[in-house]
Amino acid sequence: MERMQTPQQPCGLPVKARSQRETDLEAGIAFLGKFCAADIKQKKYQFHRSSCPVKLTNPERNGEFFVRKGRSTSGSVRWQCKECKKITNVMPNNVSRLRYNQKKSGLMLELLHKIVRNCSVTEICDTLQINPKTYYHKLKLLAGQLEQMKDQAEREHFPELIQTELSLDCRLQIREVQNRRSALVISVDPATGYVYRADYRGSMKDTREFWNQILPAHFYLIRNQTGAGRVRMVPGSDQEGILRALERTAWSFRTGEKDTAGETLSACLAPRLESAADKYIPYYLGIYMYVYNFAPEFLGGAAMDGPSPGTLYGFGNRDLQCKLEEA
Ligand SMILES: [Zn+2]
């Protein structure tokens, strides 16, 4: 087991002028954000005319100001403001959209089972009687929904669980196959085995992009993405403060070939990373990571040794069963 203490710079990032660092970090965040985030971002709606006296209200929070005017065939709901009479078509959120697209009850749950057991796409399509286009569409929906559920679970439970100092086990894996480089990073809480994030960058000419952009963004998002519970160790929550802290703080973390939880997840993922196209890998990472954290029994047998992270945290799994099964 190889373990390195890195007191100053995470993963030996070179010290650079802040403006360049900021640009790199933004690029990295944009790259990592465009996958699952794109599926879960809610559209912003304008529910009122500009002169409306109650224009700060919306149907979700202030239902008393609106009248429901039925539902369209695509599943969107029409809401009318009682004051200004404006009618707005609201697309269902992800959870509902999953339901509308569902032909068979429990399909999503079955899909999830098969994905994390590393069934091939062909095999899954055959068994579930869906075509590959539908498969990839559902893959994205599933990843987006699990991401949302993970965020929610973390927001609810993490403020109590995280100690003042966040310590991470990071597994870095850089592969070179025929001049095609890819990099995977998985960060885990060594105390509980909880996986915070897994990020992947495929098909790079060189790995500079990974070191300068993806890795800093990976750490940045771990600190930031689900709010207060994760950023306690950072003085102040402004971006500049975090950037300074990222550069300077002795952030205890280890890298290794065989850290326990990262190794296990990485082993589960290996067949999928071998076979999937780069552009789908972020979705797979999200799905495997969720299952690893919250429903490890789905992974089945040999992959899991020791206490499962899901049981240590004791949340998430029940939500998963309910939300996917009610479809
Ligand atoms: Zn109005």
Residue 2: which pLDDT band, with cuts at 50, 70 and 90?
A: very low
Give a three-class secondary structure readout of 138-196: HHHHHHHHHHHHHHHHHHHHHHHHCCCCCCEEEEEEEEEECCEEEEEEEEECCCCCCEE
Q: What is the mean pLDDT of residues 192-203?
A: 85
d(CA 65, ligand 1 centre) in Å: 8
d(CA 45, ligand 1 centre) in Å: 12
d(CA 90, ligand 1 centre) in Å: 15
d(CA 67, ligand 1 centre) in Å: 11
pLDDT at residue 174 above 60? yes
Kindly report the pTM of this predicted structure.
Answer: 0.67
d(CA 92, ligand 1 centre) in Å: 21
For the segment 247-259, what is each residue's pLDDT rounded down to a tens digit? 544 444 555 555 5
Task: Report the chain's mean pLDDT, rounded to a whole number.
Answer: 71
pLDDT (0 to 100) of residue 136: 93
Residue 25: which pLDDT band, with cuts at 50, 70 and 90?
A: confident
pLDDT at residue 235 above 70? no
DSSP 8-state assignment for residue 212: I
d(CA 170, ligand 1 centre) in Å: 50
Closest C-alpha among 67, 68, 65 to residue 52: 65
Residue 150: which pLDDT band, with cuts at 50, 70 and 90?
A: confident
What is the residue-wise DSSP string for 4-21? EE-SSSGGGPPP--HHHH
Q: Which residue has the higher pLDDT, 82 or 39?
A: 82
pLDDT at residue 291 above 80? yes
For the segment 26-44, what is each residue's pLDDT rounded down to a tens digit? 888 888 887 766 454 455 7
CB 184 within 8 Å of CB 207: no
Q: Pick from 21-25, 35-39, 67-71, 287-291 the range whose average pLDDT is largest.
A: 287-291
